[in-house]
Amino acid sequence: MTPTIAHLVFSPNPTPERLQMMRNMLACQFESARAMTDQAPFGANMMLGLAIDGMLRYHYWHTTRAVPRDTDFLAALDRLDHDLGQLARQFQTATDLSVRWSLAGQIAAVTLQPGEWVDSPLALAG
């Protein structure tokens, strides 16, 4: 995925309010994918992939680092957080939707840090 204008314009030192807004948007996307899994598994899988991509990019913002180019994204993620990089690779190669959901939950726990929230959308999604 090519970085959006927003990724190019915002500094890698976002305000706490911007980080909260980004987390909320990603959590909503994650929840939407979960809500449609039974009725539209293909669409849910596609939306889940977008949510995970956003979560991994958010991880850079949260650590006040610029998001790397797509061509170096996973290698750079391995250097930043090897365990998260391995989860991302496993997610990308998994073909079973239940396995992808399990990995997505682990990625969300690391990147969105739902324990920091008073009313975590991820906790409410179960």
* Tens digits of residue pLDDT in 33-50: 999 999 999 999 999 999
**Separation of alpha carbons 119 and 73, rounded Å:** 31
**Separation of alpha carbons 26 and 55, rounded Å:** 7
CB environment 14-38: b (16+ within 10 A), e (fewer): beeeeeeebbeebbebbbebbebbe
The pTM score is: 0.80
Task: Decide if 49 contacts 1 (C-beta within 8 A).
Answer: no
Report all structural domains of the chain as residue ranges with CATH numbers, in order of start. 15-116 (1.20.120)
118 has a pLDDT exceeding 60 = no
Regarding predicted confidence, which is higher, 62 or 93? Answer: 93
The structure tokens 């009725």 sit at 39
117 has a pLDDT exceeding 80 = no
Per-residue pLDDT at 121: 47
| Farthest CA pair distance, the chain | 39
Cβ-Cβ contacts under 8 Å for 79 (sequence gap 6 or more)? 85
120 has a pLDDT exceeding 50 = no
- 20 falls in which pLDDT band (50, 70, 90)? confident
> pLDDT for 94-115, tens place per residue?
999 999 999 999 999 999 876 5
Average pLDDT over residues 6-29: 78
Task: Decide if 28 contacts 125 (C-beta within 8 A).
Answer: no
